Structure 1
Amino acid sequence: MKIVSTNIGERKIINWKGTEIVTGIFKYTVNEPIFLDTEDVKGDTICNRENHGGILQAIYGYSLKHYGYFKKMHPNLDFEMGIFGENLTLDDLDETKIHQGDTFKVGEAVLEATIPRNPCLKLGVRFNDMKIVKQFWNSTFCGVYFKVIKTGFVKIDDVFEQIKSCPENPTIADLYVADRTEKGL
């Protein structure tokens, strides 16, 4: 896996069907290295600390390969990097092969895979179409949240080098499917 885009966002207020939504999901690519800190990316805005950021959800990674799947369903949308709210867009992140606890060295940082990302209203706001939430749930293309074991800078073209494997643990996709089943979706 290799980083193809590093993304951060600013606080944005959106009027969604008469309701004011405050969000940081509108990420954009930055060309300079970004600093992965213990609870978030320095310079990135997290508006909902209850569900994003923190020790277990400090960094969100998403696969560029998944973009094509959703582009077919949303052909008129501009799919810029970071559209899924990810901090790191990776060339080939596969949730069915990454286990909870797998650890990677990337750039100056060390990251541990923790949990999948469950879609919420703000993904629908970002896509300007709530259908994406169900479409996201109906795939295993959930992305991966990472815990930061060692803080540091990462940049475009940095490679994820796996330094610990935990095949005894469930994959991120397994956890996602279990979440979906538990929620009755």
Structure 2
Amino acid sequence: MAEHAVVRSVAVGRPVEIEGPRGRRTLTASAKTAVDGPVAVLDEHLEGDEQADPESHGGPHKAVYVYAEEDVAWWREELGREVDRQTFGQNLTTAGVDLRATVVGERWRIGSAEFEVAQPRTPCFKLGLHSGDRTMPRRFLTAVRPGAYLRVVTRGHVTAGDAVEVLHRPAHGVTLAEVFTVYHHERERAARLLDAPELPPAYAHWVHERGVKAG
């Protein structure tokens, strides 16, 4: 993480209907809008932020979604066109944070709140709908730039311009990029995920379903 890692913007959103596959309407809260001033960090979300599908999004292990300004810039270069900062539906946009190299279980202080890095994002079809490019979920998988879901350790407030301070980094070294790569591309390395106990329980369940045991 860079010496001057900061939050560039804080965004929240509520579910709205958009046109989905085969003309069906679907709810999504991906269209989040940047807000000025302090935003309260609650147990499982930011104040004013909602999820359209609580079973798949939100909850303690997906309380706050973070995407990096540097990753948005990478997408602009990759796609050869303008990409809006909020294309990925994140709550916090950071600068100076290498989210790919972020270790699962890192503790961060942002503003007066504390967070723990829980897991990378797995894209669903709504990323394609929200971005206006239905190839985006596939591209997202290939790019291995998943961003970070955070769980809330201590409530507080966050504001654009707040520093991102690492309070603790686990020694196991399992990064968000590694988790994403193992889960989606290198499943023969599934046992590696057991080295990161801070991952949500669903990951250990997935590993054990594959008949893998801790070494």
Fold shared, TM-score > 0.5 on shorter chain: yes
**What's the counterpart of residue 22 of structure 1?**
27
**What's the counterpart of residue 51 of structure 1?**
56
Q: What is the distance in 2 between the residues matched to 1:72 and 1:138?
A: 15
Aligned residues: 183
**What's the counterpart of residue 168 of structure 2?**
164
1:163 alignment partner AA: L
Is 1:107–1:158's contact at 8 Å kept on the other side of the alignment? yes
For structure 2, the residue ranges without an aligned partner over 5 or more in a row are: 189-215
The answer to whether structure 1 residue 128 and structure 2 residue 137 are counterparts is: no
- Report deviation, 1:72: 3.2
Is 1:11–1:45's contact at 8 Å kept on the other side of the alignment? yes
C-alpha change, 1:176 and 1:129, in structure 2 (3 Å) is: same
Tell which deviates more after alignment, 52-61 or 64-73.
64-73
Residue 141 of structure 2 is aligned with which of 113, 137, 151?
137
- Report deviation, 1:21: 1.0
Bigger relative contact order, structure 1 or 2, given CA contacts below 8 A and separation 6+? 1
Q: What is the distance in 1 between the residues matched to 2:34 and 2:80?
A: 21
Aligned-pair identity in percent equals 26
Is 1:3–1:158's contact at 8 Å kept on the other side of the alignment? yes
Q: What is the distance in 2 between the residues matched to 1:68 and 1:78?
A: 8
- Report deviation, 1:71: 1.7
- Report deviation, 1:51: 1.6
Is 2:72–2:83's contact at 8 Å kept on the other side of the alignment? no
- Report deviation, 1:131: 0.9
Is 1:77–1:127's contact at 8 Å kept on the other side of the alignment? no
- Report deviation, 1:97: 2.3
**What's the counterpart of residue 122 of structure 2?**
118
RMSD of aligned Cα (Å)? 1.8
Is 1:101–1:169's contact at 8 Å kept on the other side of the alignment? no
Larger Rg: 2
Is 2:7–2:93's contact at 8 Å kept on the other side of the alignment? yes
Larger strand percent: 1
**What's the counterpart of residue 2 of structure 1?**
6
The answer to whether structure 1 residue 11 and structure 2 residue 15 are counterparts is: yes
**What's the counterpart of residue 70 of structure 1?**
75
**Cα deviation code 1:151-181 (max 9, x no counterpart):** 1110011011111111314111111111112
C-alpha change, 1:103 and 1:146, in structure 2 (3 Å) is: same
Q: Normalising by the residue count of structure 1, what TM-score does the alignment of the two structures yield?
A: 0.92
Larger helix percent: 2
